[in-house]
């Protein structure tokens, strides 16, 4: 049974999901005039340039940036370090080109799901927390007859992020063990305490921590990469030439990894890119639904920014460091390859940057994963279940640190593929609402009756 699930996981995360993601994103892009390209400068101006703007209007629990930072803390994670290393080692340098391509596809999908997350969010009458995400826009958008699907989605969503918490804890524990000699059990206890202090404070505490740590960790990691890139600045055209050429020709056998055909470059670039930026995965709407805003599109554009920062900046920086330092032919993969690249380029400082980044990336991802997990279980069973799973999650971090999660990771991938497929089909079914909201915000003449109306949350 387990082997069958793992086989299906590999199959679904290949061409089936790639095709579905491209189809949905192309439909949205055509209908919305490719605004993720045409308005990218405006979007960056109204997101990146407003990171420290604390003035807000409208209803919500977090500032727009706190909500975005919460989502980014899950998006910018170990996948930016390990995922890129896997993509290049298996698919060759050309895989990076396809990661860039899928980023532009994912931008519009992530934008669409966040807009829907805001349109159909609900305010919890007991806690005052705004709840949103796939389960909410399934039942509120498609109708009560889809309540069963929303329930199933919420359970899969909860299980997926519960297990992902184990994986992040394991990553941190192994890093603490290899760097500081701390046993995985002791490391697990430390991680659980550090996470618990924040998680017990709820979503506002998570948002406050995320808005402080996320910019720091992104800048630290990117700065280290930029130093190595700056030392090799004259070779940038050469490396881009290799990336573009091998995106279509594939890589000849080199060192430890077997030759990669162009098809493998495409598959690895798409699969790892999707996994890294989470565009269309249905997780970001949960965090963004808590934002204080006056219009869903105002928060939706943060989704475009998140994918841009995650893939075009952080993943690209990782890829160039690996290529510049010449470690690709060694044959090692994942985080080990990235660590070797930084150590080769900057010595002990490079190793320290990667180590600190892994710990911070995994830690912030752990916090956000719990909120995602909690939101899913609250939808299914209520707030008491949410409190219970919060403490179970903290205890589970100790179990995750000890290890032995290889099979669990494969099972989580299987469930995640199902969640992504359901989410993409739902946002496609609700595309009209996204179109109306976008046209209302960007292009609707003020002297005409507005087709789109939003009260701040959905009233069942």
pLDDT tens profile 386-415: 999 999 999 999 988 887 666 666 677 788
CB-CB contact of 47 with 211 (8 Å): no
Helix (H, G, I), strand (E, B) or coil at 230: helix
Who contacts 370 (Cβ-Cβ below 8 Å, separation ≥6)? Answer: 161, 165, 195, 199, 206, 390, 393, 394
Q: Phi/psi of residue 91, each to 5°? A: -100, -5
Q: How far apart are CA 370 and CA 349, in angstroms?
A: 32
pLDDT tens for residues 364-377?
989 999 999 999 99
Query: Quick check: helix, strand or coil at residue 429?
Result: helix
pLDDT of 54 reads: 64
Q: Which residues of 257-284 are buried (b: 16+ CB within 10 A; e: fewer)?
A: beebebebbbbbbbbbbbbbbbbbbbbb
What mean pLDDT do residues 102-110 have?
Answer: 87
Yes or no: say if 330 and 129 are a contact pair by the CB < 8 Å rule: no
Give the pLDDT band (50/70/90) at residue 201: confident
pLDDT at 257: 43
pLDDT at residue number 446: 62
Alpha helices in 278-347 (DSSP H): 284-288, 296-307, 316-324, 334-346
- Token readout for 47 is 């997101």
| pLDDT interval class at 290 (50, 70, 90) | very high
CA angle 311/312/314 to nearest 5° reads 65
Of 68 and 134, the one with more pLDDT? 134
Structure tokens at 314: 């952080």
**For the segment 153-163, what is each residue's pLDDT rounded down to a tens digit?**
999 999 888 98
Query: What is 2-250+270-434's CATH number?
Result: 1.10.4160
Q: What is the pLDDT of residue 254?
A: 41
How do the domains of the chain map onto residue ranges? 2-250+270-434
CB 456 within 8 A of CB 52: no
Residue whose pair of structure tokens reads 């989502």 in the numeric block: 71
pLDDT higher for 111 or 330?
111
Give 173's Cβ-side CA count (13 Å radius): 26
Q: pLDDT at residue 246 above 90?
A: no
The answer, yes or no, to whether residue 63 has pLDDT greater than 70, is yes
Residue 426: predicted pLDDT: 96
Q: Looking at residue 410, what is its pLDDT?
A: 67
- pLDDT above 70: percentage of residues in the chain: 89
* DSSP line for 335-369: HHHHHHHHHHHHTHHHHHHHHHHHHHHHHHHHHHH
Q: What pLDDT score does 272 carry?
A: 63
Helix then strand count (H, E) for the chain reads: 22, 2
Reported as a pLDDT band with limits 50, 70 and 90, residue 140 is very high
């Amino acid at each position: 049974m387990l082997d069958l699930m793992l086989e299906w996981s590999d199959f679904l995360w290949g061409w089936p999901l790639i095709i579905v993601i491209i189809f949905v994103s192309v439909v949205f892009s055509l209908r919305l005039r490719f605004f993720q390209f045409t308005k990218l400068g405006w979007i960056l101006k109204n997101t990146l340039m407003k990171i420290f703007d604390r003035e807000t209007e409208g209803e919500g629990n977090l500032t727009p940036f706190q909500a975005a930072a919460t989502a980014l803390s899950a998006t910018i994670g170990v996948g930016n370090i390990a995922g890129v290393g896997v993509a290049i080692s298996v698919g060759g340098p050309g895989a990076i080109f396809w990661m860039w391509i899928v980023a532009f596809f994912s931008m519009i999908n992530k934008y669409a799901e966040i807009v829907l997350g805001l349109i159909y969010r609900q305010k919890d009458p007991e806690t005052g927390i705004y709840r949103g995400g796939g389960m909410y826009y399934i039942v509120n958008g498609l109708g009560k007859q889809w309540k069963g699907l929303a329930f199933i989605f919420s359970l899969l969503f909860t299980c997926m992020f519960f297990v992902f918490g184990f994986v992040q804890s394991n990553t941190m524990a192994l890093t603490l063990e290899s760097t500081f000699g701390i046993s995985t059990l002791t490391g697990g206890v430390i991680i659980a305490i550090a996470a618990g202090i924040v998680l017990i404070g709820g979503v506002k505490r998570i948002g406050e921590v995320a808005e402080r740590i996320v910019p720091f960790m992104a800048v630290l990691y990117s700065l280290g990469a930029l130093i190595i890139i700056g030392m090799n600045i004259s070779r940038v055209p050469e490396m881009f030439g290799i990336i573009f050429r091998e995106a279509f020709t594939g890589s000849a056998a080199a060192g430890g990894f077997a030759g990669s055909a162009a098809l493998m470059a495409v598959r690895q670039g798409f699969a790892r890119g999707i996994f890294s930026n989470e565009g269309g995965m249905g997780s970001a709407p949960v965090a963004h639904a808590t934002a204080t805003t006056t219009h869903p599109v105002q928060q939706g554009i943060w989704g475009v920014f998140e994918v841009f920062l995650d893939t075009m900046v952080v993943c690209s920086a990782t890829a160039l460091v690996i290529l510049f330092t010449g470690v690709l032919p060694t044959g090692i993969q994942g985080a080990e390859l990235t660590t070797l690249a930084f150590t080769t380029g900057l010595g002990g400082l490079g190793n320290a940057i990667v180590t600190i980044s892994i710990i911070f990336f995994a830690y912030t991802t752990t916090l956000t994963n719990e909120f995602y997990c909690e939101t899913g279980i609250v939808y299914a069973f209520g707030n008491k279940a949410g409190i219970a799973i919060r403490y179970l999650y903290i205890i589970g971090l100790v179990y995750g640190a000890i290890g032995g999660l290889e099979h669990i990771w494969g099972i989580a991938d299987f469930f995640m593929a199902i969640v992504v497929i359901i989410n993409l089909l739902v946002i496609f079914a609700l595309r009209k609402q996204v179109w109306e909201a976008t046209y209302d915000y960007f292009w609707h003449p003020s002297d005409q009756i507005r087709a789109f109306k939003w009260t701040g949350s959905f009233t069942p």
